[in-house]
Amino acid sequence: MLKEGDLSKTPKHIAIIMDGNGRWAKKRFLPRFMGHIAGVKAVKHVVEYCGAKQIEVLTLFAFSSENWRRPKDEVAKLMDLFIGTLDKEIGRLDKKNVRLRFIGERAEFSEKLQQKMSESESRTENNTGLTLVIAANYGGHRDITLATQALARQVKAGHLQPEDINENLIAAELSIPDLPEPDLFIRTGGEKRISNFLLWQLAYTEFHFTDKFWPDFNAQAMQDAVDDFLTRQRRFGRTSEQVEGPSEIN
Ligand code: FPP
């Protein structure tokens, strides 16, 4: 049984795999790319929701390291969409006190996109509202691999003993080490996979899957996911009796 305190615990960090843009478009006999354009609208809805509900962090999987395998034309159009959306939305995001951050390996993106990314990060770095993390060319395996390399370099330099490597040191070398780990993970589009998203950081996260295609996802769908989250009892390895405490047992 949940205690009242648990029910008031809204998630601090929500991470989303935005899936189903292509199928949304196909259902309407539209080119796949129209699904991505419609997907931007859904991004706006969830950013607004998070701002209004004082969610601290929203992480969106915009482009995985595996997405380069898509048809060249789709990749090129997605890149243009990212640049166009940043250009169009950065002013509004800044005004709304949103801090924008990117995770993933950006060196593979065009100079222009890389420049837009760093400009929007610096422009919003002192904002204190929602932190919007965009995962772009991100892969969880790669994140852990890069962290391992960083620790190996410290060992090689004699600054660290292998037996002193622990979970905290590994976590500190991963992307977004300063942010709370996701409380709630949402995947739209009906698939039930993590797809190499934040593998380490999702260890204790509650999962919510929905068949809705991403362009159909809106504030109400977000609220449904949060309501689902609020019914879960987060035990972090403890028993329910321990979590509920003596007052619930007696
Ligand atoms: C997955 O749908 C979606 C993507 C790979 C791209 C996500 C991009 C957006 C939502 C647009 C812009 C985002 C930002 C942050 C500006 P899919 O194409 O895999 O759909 P399918 O599974 O139906 O084919």
- The answer to the question of residue 174 being in a domain is no
What is the residue whose two structure tokens read 């040191």?
169
pLDDT at 238: 79
CATH code of 35's domain:
3.40.1180.10
* Order of strands, sheet of 99-103, starting from the edge strand that comes earlier in the sequence: 99-103, 131-138, 57-64, 13-17, 184-187, 206-209
- The answer to the question of residue 144 being in a domain is no
pLDDT at 220: 97
- The answer to the question of residue 92 being in a domain is yes
Spacing of C-alpha 139 from chain mean position = 12
Q: Which atom of ligand 1 is nearest to the CA of 86?
A: 16
Please answer whether residues 140 and 197 qualify as being in contact, where contact means their C-beta atoms are separated by less than 8 angstroms: yes
- The answer to the question of residue 160 being in a domain is no
pLDDT at 250: 39
Please answer whether residues 212 and 20 qualify as being in contact, where contact means their C-beta atoms are separated by less than 8 angstroms: yes
- The answer to the question of residue 241 being in a domain is no
0.85 surpassed by pTM: yes
For ligand 1, pick from 16, 17, 19 the residue to mutate: most ligand atoms within 8 Å of CB.
19
Pairing status of strand 13-17 against strand 57-64: parallel
For ligand 1, pick from 36, 44, 50, 82 the residue to mutate: most ligand atoms within 8 Å of CB.
36
Number of domains in the chain: 1
Which residues sit opposite 147 in a β-bridge?
Answer: none
What is the residue whose two structure tokens read 């780990």?
181
- Low-confidence stretches of the chain (pLDDT < 70) are 1-8, 246-250
- The answer to the question of residue 29 being in a domain is yes
- The answer to the question of residue 197 being in a domain is yes
Cα separation, 124 vs 121, in Å, equals 5
- The answer to the question of residue 153 being in a domain is no
Average pLDDT score over the chain: 93
| Residue 19 designated active-site | yes
Q: Which residues line ligand 1 (CB under 6 A)?
A: 18-23, 36, 39-40, 43, 60, 62, 67, 81-82, 85, 134, 189, 214
Quote the strand ranges of 6-91, DSSP E.
Answer: 13-17, 57-64
pLDDT at 249: 41
Expressed as residue numbers, the domain containing 212 is 9-139+180-231
